[in-house]
Structure 1
C-alpha cells in the first residue's frame, strides 16, 4: 500500500496536511527502521498518526543533537527554546504553519492526546542540552518519563484497547514499561554515540558498582568490568520488558502484531549486544536484516487475520482521567506519581 493510500484510509485531506504527514513518514522510514517496520503491521488508517508522533520526536531530537561546531551550547538552547515556545503556543491554538508540527497537531486533536505529554517530552529534550549524566536509576527514570514513557502513552489512543473490560490505567502502566525498555535498549546500543555528544545514560551508581568511569567508557576497551556492567543493565532492561509484555494482549487486536514485532526486534538488540561480547564501540549493534524480515513476515500474517476481527476501536472518552505527569524536579518515580492520581 502506498503512502497516499494510507492517508486516504485515515481520511486525511488537504495538500498541506498530507505533505506534513509525508514528511513525518519519511523521518520514520529513514531514522526508525525497526519502528517503521513494526508500523507497517498496523491497519493503514493508523499508520500516518504513528508517523506523525515519531516524526515530531525525531525532529526535536535532531535539533538537540545537531553537531554543527559553529553552534555554541547557548545557541542550541536558544534555538530549541524558540521552537518549543512556538510549538506549545501552536498546540494551544490548534493550528500551525510549521510543516512538521502540522501533522502532530492534527493527530493530537484526532485522538485527544493530552498536551502535557508533548510538553514533558520537550522538557526532557531540553535536559539533554545541559545534563550529561544521572546519579541514580531513579534520576534516569525522571528523564525517561518525558523521553520515553509519554511516547508510549501518546501511542495508546491510536493503538486502542482490546475491549471495554480493559482498564486504561492498567494498559498505561504496560505502555510506560515498554517505552522505557525501548529507551534503555537504545541507551545500551548507543553508548559510544552518546559519549561523543558528551552524555552518559548509564546511572553513575551502576558505573561505580563495577568500577567503570567515563574515561574508561571513552577508551572503548571491552574488559570484564565493562561486560559485567552491561550484563547488569541488560538484565534490568529485560525485567522491564517482562513487565511490559502482558500489555500487548490488552491493545486492540489490529495493533497487537505491531507491538509484538517491535517488542521482539528491540529485545533482539540486547541479544546482539551479548553476541558481540558486549562490544558496543566498534560497530553499531543491530538485529540482522534476515531476522528482522522473518519476524515481520510472521507478524504480517497475523496482522491481516486480526484486521478481519471486526472489533470496533475503543477510544478514550472525553471524561476519562488521564495520567498525571511527575513533578518537574524529575527525581520522583513517575509511576508512583501516576498511581497517586485519582482514577475513575
Structure 2
C-alpha cells in the first residue's frame, strides 16, 4: 500500500478523494485569475489535464497566501510559514489531507517530478515576504529562477518532451518571459504591496525613482524602463518558440496558446505606449477565447492528420 492510501478507506473512496482533489485545484486555478492557464490545459490530452491543474493550482494557492492584501505582512508571513510546513510534511509522507497537496503529491509521483522544484518555488514565495527590491537584473533573475523556472521544470515531464534538454531550454525561456510580463503588468499592484521588481539599475539608468511608480503621472523615462523589460521578454519568447519542436504534437497546441497569450499581453503594453502605471494590462475573455479556439483548431487538425497517416499506413 502506498503512503497516500493509508487510512483512506477503500480504493473506490480513495479514487473519489483524488478526483475531488484535482477538481478542487481546477476551481482554485479558475478562481485566481488563471483562466488562460485553464484554457491552455484544455488543449492537452485528457489524461494530462488534472496534473496541470494540480501544478497550477498549487502555485496559485501559494501565491494567494503571499500576495493577498487582506492581511497585514505579519499575518501573511505566519500563514505562509504554516503552509510551508504543511507542504514539507506532505513531501515527507507522500500525502496530505489538504486537497491541493494531495493532488500535488499524486502529480509528483505520477510524473517523477523532483521535489526540489517545489521547494525552490516555496523559496521564491518566502523571498516575496522579505525582499522588496532587486538591484540588478541578475538579482531579479535569481528570483525568477526560483519562482517561474522552477514551476516550468515541474510542468516539463507532464508535456513528455521528445528532447528533454532542448525542451528544458525552451521551457526556461518561456517561464522567464511569463514572469517578466507579469512583473510589467503588475507594477501598480506590487507597488501597493511594497515591492518593486523592476531592477534598480534600470530605474536609475532611466532617471526613475521607485516613488515614481505610484502612477500619479507617467513620464517618458518610466515608459523607457517598461520598454526594456518588454524587449527582454520578447527575446525570450522567440527562444521559447524555437524549441517547440522538442515537444510532442500532443503538447504543442497548449504551449503555443500560452505563447500567444503572453505575446498578446506584450502587444497590449506596446499599444499603450508602455503605460502600465495607470491601469493593469488585461486581455478580455473574447481575446483569450479566440486564442484558445485557434489552438484547439490546430490540435484537432493535427489529430486528424495523425489518424489519416495511420490509416494510410494500415492499408499499405
TM-score, normalised via structure 1 length: 0.81
Structure 2 distance, partners of 1:66, 1:301, is 37
> 1:289 Cα shift?
3.5
RMSD of aligned C-alpha atoms? 1.9
- Check whether the contact 1:185–1:267 (CA below 8 A) recurs between aligned residues: no
Q: Identify the match of residue 296 of structure 2 among 295, 300, 303.
A: 300
**Secondary structure, counterpart of 2:99 in structure 1:** coil
Equivalence for 2:34? 32
Are 1:94 and 2:94 counterparts? yes
Structure 1 distance, partners of 2:208, 2:105, is 43
Structure 1 distance, partners of 2:75, 2:42, is 38
> 1:27 Cα shift?
1.6
Q: Deviations over 1:239-292 (max 9, x none)?
A: 111111122221111110100011011111011011122222333212343332
Structure 2 distance, partners of 1:222, 1:277, is 10
Alignment of 1:183-262 (within 5 A): 183-262=179-258
Structure 2 distance, partners of 1:218, 1:282, is 9
Are 1:54 and 2:50 counterparts? no
Worse-superposed segment, 169-178 or 108-117: 169-178
Distance 1:92 1:306, change over 3 A: farther
> 1:170 Cα shift?
2.2
Instruction: List alignment gaps of at least 5 residues for structure 1.
Output: 1-11, 312-344
Bigger proportion of residues as helix? 2
> 1:56 Cα shift?
0.3
Equivalence for 2:3? none
Are 1:67 and 2:59 counterparts? no
Structure 2 distance, partners of 1:84, 1:55, is 15
Greater Rg, structure 1 or structure 2?
2
Structure 2 distance, partners of 1:289, 1:63, is 26
- Check whether the contact 1:43–1:307 (CA below 8 A) recurs between aligned residues: no
Structure 1 distance, partners of 2:202, 2:49, is 38
> 1:85 Cα shift?
1.8
Equivalence for 1:126? 126
Structure 1 distance, partners of 2:131, 2:110, is 34
Q: Which runs of 4+ in 1 moved over 4 A?
A: none
Are 1:175 and 2:177 counterparts? no
Structure 2 distance, partners of 1:306, 1:50, is 21
Structure 1 distance, partners of 2:47, 2:232, is 36
Q: Deviations over 1:86-106 (max 9, x none)?
A: 211211211111121110110
TM-score, normalised via structure 2 length: 0.88
